[in-house]
């Protein structure tokens, strides 16, 4: 090689990427008022649906004692948030007044 030419070397380093475990973090709890429905709002798709619940089985010993309460957990979906409202019209009203989001369905 000539002395005027520069020698270009490409150095490739192997970088090990650590995978971060995604965990759900409890932000808060929603206890709906009597006769209210829990709605699931997805702003990316522009949809309002009823929330889906995971229902645990009722143990017969608790039912024998008269305790028929089942603790339901909401199946939390990524990118969605939840509002308790009386009906769909009321849910849209809450979204408009509190969050400034307008749905025209």
Span 56-68, pLDDT tens digits? 877 777 778 877 7
What's the number of domains the chain is made of?
A: 1
Is 71 a member of any domain? yes
Is 75 a member of any domain? yes
* Cα pseudo-dihedral 53, 81, 86, 95, rounded to 10: -170
Farthest CA pair distance, the chain: 94
Span 5-14, pLDDT tens digits? 666 777 666 6
Span 73-94, pLDDT tens digits? 889 898 899 999 999 999 999 9
Return the exposure string of 5-27: e unless at least 16 CB atoms fall within 10 Å of the residue's CB, then b. Answer: eeeeeeeeeeeeeeeeeeeeeee
Q: Is the dihedral of CA 42, 46, 50, 54 positive or negative?
A: negative
Is 74 a member of any domain? yes
What is the pLDDT, as a whole number, of residue 40?
95
Tally of CB atoms within 10 A around 91:
20
Is 50 a member of any domain? yes
Span 32-59, pLDDT tens digits? 888 999 999 998 999 999 999 998 877 7
């Amino acid at each position: 090689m000539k002395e005027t030419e520069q020698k270009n070397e490409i150095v490739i380093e192997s970088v090990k990427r650590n995978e971060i475990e995604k965990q759900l973090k409890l932000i808060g709890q929603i206890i709906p008022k009597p006769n209210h429905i829990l709605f699931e709002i997805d702003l990316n798709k522009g949809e309002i649906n009823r929330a889906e619940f995971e229902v645990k089985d009722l143990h017969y010993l608790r039912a024998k004692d008269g305790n028929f309460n089942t603790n339901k957990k909401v199946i939390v979906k990524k990118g969605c948030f939840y509002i308790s409202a009386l009906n769909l019209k009321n849910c849209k009203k809450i979204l408009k007044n509190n969050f400034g989001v307008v749905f025209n369905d």
